[in-house]
Amino acid sequence: MRARLLALSLLVALAPGSDGPAYAPGAYKYSLLTVIKRSQSVSNTELSSTLTADQHMALSLTARGADSLAFQLTLTEYSLRSDLPTQLPDVSKMKGTIVMGTMSVTGRLASFSHLSPVTGGAEILSLAQNMSRFLPVLAPESGAATSFTDTVSDKQTSQGGDLNERTITNTTLDGDTVFAGGRAFRVRRATTVTLEGTTMQGGQALAVSSEGTGAGTFYVSERGVYLGARTTSVSTSRIKLPDGSIVTLTQDATSTVTLLK
């Protein structure tokens, strides 16, 4: 394991050419706890449940010139639990998944790839994409604006289904504050997500649509260490069944990222 910070222990980490935050090389461990409250409605029948996902990850950042970093994020622990007596997917088999690539010192992704004990499938691809976005972006593509917008479009194809997702993220650098006993930059983010397409079930293509919003606050130390975050999101999805009825799924999620000592 590399030292927590490289020769930067007395320096403030700033993005090149700006007064904003930037990530510093080092090795860190995090926990990501997500609590999802779901409500499913079909034919005047409603079912509610709570699902908790617990993930632990190890992050390594290595300098690649003055304004870029190589990153490697490894999923070291993964478990699910539910308040319903139902069999959950065995996500423990995904432990050991590694996402690696390059990014700017402000967290803007340049490229990434992944390795996993699980081969193929939309589930592992979705996990890898989410892991590649673990660090919040701290600056626009150009300039030094303290508020900026990013739009990402993804297409997922699996087992004959096609889903198109569009994510619009508004990020604001909200000054500095005290977090975990030290000075830190505070970053606020608001997100809108829409999804449309088809999913396969029992050999039939079912129309799917979804819309959701999210908000979060992230903290990065003056030395360039991602300290943690708290995010919330609400989404509503609709699936049209072959008989014409609509399944409506409402989801309310809260996630907490914690830097482990």
CB-side exposure of 224: number of CA atoms within 13 Å? 29
Report pLDDT for 158.
64
Describe the strand order of the beta sheet including 98-104 as a list of residue ranges: 109-115, 98-104, 68-82, 45-63, 26-42, 246-260, 226-240, 204-221, 182-201, 161-179, 147-158
Report pLDDT for 204.
84
Confidence of residue 148 (pLDDT cuts 50, 70, 90): very high
Region 65-69: mean pLDDT is 92
pLDDT above 50 for 105: yes
Determine how β-strand 182-201 pairs with β-strand 204-221: antiparallel
Region 213-223: mean pLDDT is 96
Report pLDDT for 11.
33
In the chain, the domains with their CATH numbers are 26-260 (2.30.230)
Convert the pLDDT of each residue in 75-84 to its tens digit. 999 999 999 8
Question: What percentage of the chain exceeds 90 in pLDDT?
Answer: 67
Region 84-102: mean pLDDT is 93
Convert the pLDDT of each residue in 154-212 to its tens digit. 887 766 678 899 999 999 998 889 998 899 999 999 999 999 999 888 788 899 999 99
Inter-CA distances, 221 with 18, 21, 176, 228, Å: 16, 8, 9, 10
pLDDT above 50 for 40: yes
CA torsion through residues 250, 80, 111, 257, sign: positive
Region 111-137: mean pLDDT is 90
